[in-house]
């Protein structure tokens, strides 16, 4: 597909997953408890302004979580099943009952948020208010539960603990990274929800009003209360990340090209966290001193940080998609020797050429590229082969032998790449395909590429593989 060959498979999953996390953490996991607390606070103090603020924030949560939030949740399934069917298949087999439960909890969460928002006004009198607050608490629990289940799976992908030995669901769930990562995400989601509430306070309360002052103060205290456990959880989590993965962080943070900047970058991240904390300290002590715009910026900073946490987490587990079990290209570690002996095309599911002959080098090479490299590379777009090999070997016609040697050994020096899972002939075919692309820049520009849609066909929504 034209689009995917430019943007890249992993970026597609990353964009959908990223949007989902941006919504799930601040607007669901963290925000439901915060609005339920605001509602309760308003009820106890008989302060209608708190109730109105909580109601308005809930409106935003309700609209965003039930639309973009739910859609991107499904989008993760679609994109991962499309791009990494073997990875998602393996996870499904291990976590079937966990995911089944998560699905029930998720449906309950959607029903509860609908009830919570739509009954707000109707259930405001008498004993009904308590019932309504109860719905908010239940909603918060369901939302947290979905994360409690999903993080087990995310942790498993980074370290499978004793699962390879006993293959039990219990060991899979209680993998070494599970609880630290859960603590990290939960505390950060709570902080983010506070930052998001700050953001919304800017729109939902009156400038210089007494209530804005109180709201800023209370939400700042909420942020500060979570900040210390967050920093503790972050250190705990980091220390549980296996050393080989920690070593990947340099490239993970900033790509190979900028990896030498990673120390500066780590400082920027620490500074961003510090700035958020300082803003919250001022907000708690002297809410009037916080100018309106300051309410808007930390939320954006918080999301930016969250994006980096996810990016790094996804990156550091390379070359595996499931630690020590399956490589990112969908090849199981145990299968690797067989593939290298018999050829990866022999066993691949979606290829046109099963064997490499002198007549099909380029076509078979393209199949090899799709099966072994395209999870992470495009041919000429993001993280594209053309620019990567040009960096290595320059603009002159590339030396085929050197490239074949590179393909066979690339995983030893660039440990984030899996070993090439094919045989010698397939490596030669892959190189023939890459050299063919290099020799035909018009393919790269897209003018006559047989693997790109023709200009008129490009308008159609589907077609191509
Ligand atoms: C698990 C994902 C993954 C797979 C699969 C993968 N690569 Fe990579 N590769 C990367 C990453 C990440 C980089 C570094 C990108 C950066 O930061 O610039 C990279 C870099 C490279 C580079 C540049 C190395 C350098 O030092 O400049 C080449 C060449 C390359 N890959 C070729 C391949 C080939 C050929 C295949 C298929 C046989 C392949 N890769 C499979 C992830 C992968």
- 196 or 379: whose pLDDT is higher? 196
Asked if residue 175 has pLDDT above 70, the reply is yes
Instruction: State mean pLDDT over 256-261.
Output: 60
Task: Give the pLDDT score at 464.
Answer: 39
Most distant CA atoms of the chain, gap in Å: 83
Nearest-atom number in ligand 1 for the CA of 328 is 1
CA of 417 to the centre of ligand 1 (A): 6
Contact between 423 and 341 under an 8 Å Cβ cutoff? The reply is yes
CA of 372 to the centre of ligand 1 (A): 10
Asked if residue 452 has pLDDT above 70, the reply is no
CA of 386 to the centre of ligand 1 (A): 11
CA of 257 to the centre of ligand 1 (A): 12
- pLDDT band for position 268 (cuts 50, 70, 90): confident
CA of 224 to the centre of ligand 1 (A): 41
Task: Give the pLDDT score at 260.
Answer: 59
CA 264, CA 268: separation in Å to the nearest integer?
6
* Residue entry with tokens 């996810």: 310
Asked if residue 282 has pLDDT above 50, the reply is yes
Angle (CA) 256-259-260 rounded to 5° is: 135
CA 370, CA 366: separation in Å to the nearest integer?
6
Contact between 319 and 251 under an 8 Å Cβ cutoff? The reply is no
CA atoms within 13 A on the CB side of 463: 11
Pick the closest to residue 283 from 203, 199, 206, 187 (CA basis): 199
- pLDDT band for position 192 (cuts 50, 70, 90): very high
Task: Give the pLDDT score at 215.
Answer: 95
- pLDDT band for position 465 (cuts 50, 70, 90): very low
Instruction: State mean pLDDT over 2-16.
Output: 78
Residue-averaged pLDDT of the chain: 89
Chain segment 84-111, per-residue pLDDT in tens: 899 999 999 999 999 999 999 999 999 9
Contact between 54 and 35 under an 8 Å Cβ cutoff? The reply is yes
Nearest-atom number in ligand 1 for the CA of 420 is 38
Q: Whose CA is nearest to atom 37 of ligand 1?
A: 373
Ligand 1 pocket test target in 414, 425, 431 with most atoms within 8 Å of CB? 414
Task: Give the pLDDT score at 262.
Answer: 66
322 burial class (0-12, 13-18, 19+ CB within 10 angstroms)? buried
CA 213, CA 53: separation in Å to the nearest integer?
13
The two tokens of residue 142 are 């369901």
CA 314, CA 310: separation in Å to the nearest integer?
6
Q: Whose CA is nearest to atom 14 of ligand 1?
A: 256
Give percent of the chain above pLDDT 90: 68
Angle (CA) 172-177-182 rounded to 5° is: 100
Ligand 1: residues whose CB is within 6 Å? 251, 255-257, 318-319, 328-329, 372-373, 375-377, 383, 388-389, 391-392, 407, 410, 414, 416-418, 420
359: CB partners within 8 A, 6+ apart: none
Which phi and psi (to 5°) does residue 381 adopt?
-95, -130
Ligand 1 pocket test target in 388, 408, 428, 438 with most atoms within 8 Å of CB? 388
Task: Give the pLDDT score at 115.
Answer: 97
The two tokens of residue 83 are 């791009």
Task: Give the pLDDT score at 174.
Answer: 96
Asked if residue 9 has pLDDT above 60, the reply is yes
Ligand 1 pocket test target in 254, 336, 376 with most atoms within 8 Å of CB? 376
Nearest-atom number in ligand 1 for the CA of 254 is 17
Asked if residue 374 has pLDDT above 50, the reply is yes
CA atoms within 13 A on the CB side of 297: 13
- pLDDT band for position 252 (cuts 50, 70, 90): low
Pick the closest to residue 377 from 302, 318, 292 (CA basis): 318
Contact between 363 and 374 under an 8 Å Cβ cutoff? The reply is no
CA of 264 to the centre of ligand 1 (A): 24
Asked if residue 274 has pLDDT above 50, the reply is yes
Q: Whose CA is nearest to atom 40 of ligand 1?
A: 373
CA 279, CA 273: separation in Å to the nearest integer?
10
Chain segment 38-65, per-residue pLDDT in tens: 999 999 999 999 999 999 999 999 999 9
- 3 or 89: whose pLDDT is higher? 89
The two tokens of residue 187 are 């505390």
349: CB partners within 8 A, 6+ apart: 85
Give percent of the chain above pLDDT 70: 91
CA 243, CA 87: separation in Å to the nearest integer?
23
Q: Whose CA is nearest to atom 24 of ligand 1?
A: 388
CA of 377 to the centre of ligand 1 (A): 7
Instruction: State mean pLDDT over 206-215.
Output: 92
Residue-wise burial string across 186-196, b where 16 or more C-beta atoms lie within 10 A, e elsewhere? bbbbbbbbbbb
CA of 50 to the centre of ligand 1 (A): 53
Which phi and psi (to 5°) does residue 16 adopt?
-65, -50
- pLDDT band for position 455 (cuts 50, 70, 90): very low
Question: What region, left, alpha or beta, does residue 343 occupy, with left being phi > 0 and alpha being psi -120 to 50 degrees?
Answer: left
Task: Give the pLDDT score at 256.
Answer: 61
- pLDDT band for position 445 (cuts 50, 70, 90): low
Asked if residue 456 has pLDDT above 60, the reply is no
Contact between 20 and 72 under an 8 Å Cβ cutoff? The reply is yes
Angle (CA) 333-334-337 rounded to 5° is: 95
Asked if residue 5 has pLDDT above 90, the reply is no
Angle (CA) 381-382-383 rounded to 5° is: 110
Ligand 1 pocket test target in 8, 314, 377, 379 with most atoms within 8 Å of CB? 377
Nearest-atom number in ligand 1 for the CA of 375 is 5
CA 63, CA 335: separation in Å to the nearest integer?
46
CA of 411 to the centre of ligand 1 (A): 9
Q: How many CB atoms lie within 10 A of CB 367?
A: 24
Q: Whose CA is nearest to atom 41 of ligand 1?
A: 373
The two tokens of residue 214 are 């109180």
Contact between 88 and 153 under an 8 Å Cβ cutoff? The reply is no
CA of 251 to the centre of ligand 1 (A): 11
Asked if residue 253 has pLDDT above 90, the reply is no
CA of 4 to the centre of ligand 1 (A): 17
Contact between 88 and 80 under an 8 Å Cβ cutoff? The reply is yes
Pick the closest to residue 192 from 90, 61, 81 (CA basis): 61
Asked if residue 269 has pLDDT above 70, the reply is yes
Chain segment 303-358, per-residue pLDDT in tens: 998 998 888 888 888 899 999 999 999 999 999 999 999 999 999 988 999 999 99
Task: Give the pLDDT score at 72.
Answer: 95
Q: Whose CA is nearest to atom 39 of ligand 1?
A: 373
CA of 165 to the centre of ligand 1 (A): 31
CA of 331 to the centre of ligand 1 (A): 16
CA 259, CA 293: separation in Å to the nearest integer?
33
């Amino acid at each position: 597909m034209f689009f995917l060959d430019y943007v890249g498979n992993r970026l597609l999953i990353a964009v959908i997953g990223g949007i989902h996390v941006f919504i799930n953490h601040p607007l669901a996991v963290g925000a439901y408890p915060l609005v339920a607390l605001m509602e309760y606070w308003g009820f106890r103090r008989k302060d209608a302004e708190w109730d109105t603020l909580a109601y308005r924030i809930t409106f935003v949560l309700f609209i965003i979580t039930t639309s973009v939030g739910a859609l991107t949740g499904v989008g993760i399934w679609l994109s991962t099943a499309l791009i990494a069917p073997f990875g998602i298949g393996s996870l499904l087999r291990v976590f079937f009952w966990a995911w089944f439960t998560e699905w029930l909890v998720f449906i309950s969460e959607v029903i509860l948020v609908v009830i919570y928002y739509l009954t707000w006004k109707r259930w405001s009198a008498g004993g009904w208010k308590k019932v309504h607050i109860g719905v908010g608490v239940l909603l918060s629990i369901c939302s947290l539960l979905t994360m409690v289940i999903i993080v087990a799976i995310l942790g498993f992908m980074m370290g499978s603990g004793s699962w390879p030995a006993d293959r039990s669901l219990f060991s899979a769930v209680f993998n070494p990274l599970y609880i630290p990562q859960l603590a990290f995400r939960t505390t950060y989601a709570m902080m983010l929800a506070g930052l998001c509430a700050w953001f919304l306070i800017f729109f939902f309360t009156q400038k210089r009003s007494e209530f804005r002052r109180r709201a800023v103060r209370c939400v700042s205290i909420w942020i500060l209360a979570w900040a210390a456990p967050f920093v503790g959880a972050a250190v705990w989590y980091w220390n549980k990340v296996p050393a080989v993965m920690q070593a990947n962080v340099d490239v993970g943070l900033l790509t190979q090209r900028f990896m030498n900047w990673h120390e500066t970058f780590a400082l920027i991240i620490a500074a961003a966290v510090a700035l958020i904390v300082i803003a919250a300290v001022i907000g708690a002590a002297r809410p009037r001193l916080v100018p309106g715009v300051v309410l808007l910026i930390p939320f954006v900073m918080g999301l930016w940080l969250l994006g980096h946490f996810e990016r790094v987490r996804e990156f550091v587990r390379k070359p595996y998609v499931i630690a020590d079990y399956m490589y990112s290209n969908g090849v199981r570690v145990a299968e690797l020797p067989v593939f290298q002996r018999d050829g990866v095309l022999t066993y691949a599911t979606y290829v046109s050429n099963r064997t490499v002959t002198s007549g099909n080098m380029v076509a078979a090479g393209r199949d090899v590229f799709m099966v072994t490299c395209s999870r992470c590379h495009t041919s000429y777009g993001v993280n594209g082969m053309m620019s990567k090999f040009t960096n290595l070997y320059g603009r002159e016609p590339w030396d085929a032998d050197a490239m074949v040697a590179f393909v066979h050994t690339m995983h030893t020096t660039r440990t984030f790449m899996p070993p090439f899972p094919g045989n010698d002939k397939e490596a030669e075919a892959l190189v023939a395909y890459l050299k063919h692309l290099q020799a035909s820049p018009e393919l790269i520009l897209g003018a006559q590429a047989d693997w790109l849609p023709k200009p008129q066909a490009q308008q159609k929504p589907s077609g191509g593989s």
